[in-house]
Amino acid sequence: MSGASDKGGQRNLKVRLKTAKKRTTASQKWLERQLNDPYVERAKREGYRSRAAFKLLEIDDRYKLLKPGQRVIDLGAAPGGWSQVAAQRVGAAEPKPGAPVGRVVGIDLLPIDGLPGVEAVQMDFLAPEAPGLLMQMLGGPADIVMSDMAANTTGHKKTDHLRIVGLAEVAIEFAREVLAPGGVFLAKVFQGGTENTLLANLKRDFAVVRHVKPAASRAGSSELYVLATGYRGQGALGAGQDPDDDPRAAGHWDAE
């Protein structure tokens, strides 16, 4: 342990790990970051599955996305931090007498341990049967599709950026199939500018598109989130129509 400095009878301690022979430098840094991350400790203390829960809490506190009675799909949900928050806020985790009861479905290739108010599916959301199955589980189209997924990194900044944008693009395609009119799409991207195709897709289909950077994102991290609200529904624009030529799409891009 190091970083000891007495102040008011307390010591501020920062954890340092001895490097194991088989531990890579990257995994060493990740472990140290986890041990010294206040959001990791807070997640344990407040019973959240992961520190990522605080990102969604902050975004929702600001934009009021999650409401009682809503239907929510969480893509790449494991270990379940975002699903956990959604279930609490739409009234699925602890239904109250007389209040609307929402539904939350989390889907991931990895197993998701049981959470109150969350139905978990272990499968690829890109499977042809996934949209229909998830809407059946929800009892109708989704009000919100959200994704905190991140593609495996290579260490090459440009390649990693393209991968995460590609992941966001397929998530948008999925959202088109399952969202109800007026719905919300929220997904992780990285700083450095999203691809024109991604932004054009969102401007075409949603009334307002903005970038959001929650305080819970790690210091120095390039991650941020794209938030699109007011889904217009499938077929909002004609096939091949340029979204910039549509008056509904003009002037609704907010960079924050």
Reported as a pLDDT band with limits 50, 70 and 90, residue 249 is very low
**61-80: per-residue pLDDT in tens?**
999 999 999 999 999 999 99
Q: Which amino acid is at 191?
A: Q
* Partners of 188 in beta bridges: 225
Q: What pLDDT score does 25 carry?
A: 55
Domain boundaries, the chain: 16-47, 49-254
114 pLDDT exceeds 80? yes
For the annotated binding site for S-adenosyl-L-methionine, the residues are: 80, 82, 108, 124, 148
> Where do the H-state alpha helices sit in the chain?
25-35, 38-46, 53-63, 81-89, 130-138, 157-178, 196-205
CA 153/CA 158 separation, integer angstroms: 10
Q: Which of 157, 188, 203, 213 does the annotation list as catalytic?
A: 188
**CATH 3.30.1330.20 holds for 49-254:** no
pLDDT recorded at residue 30: 40
Q: Is 117 left (phi over 0), alpha (psi -120 to 50) or beta?
A: left
Binding-site residue numbers are 80, 82, 108, 124, 148
pTM of the model: 0.76
Check if 18 is active-site: no
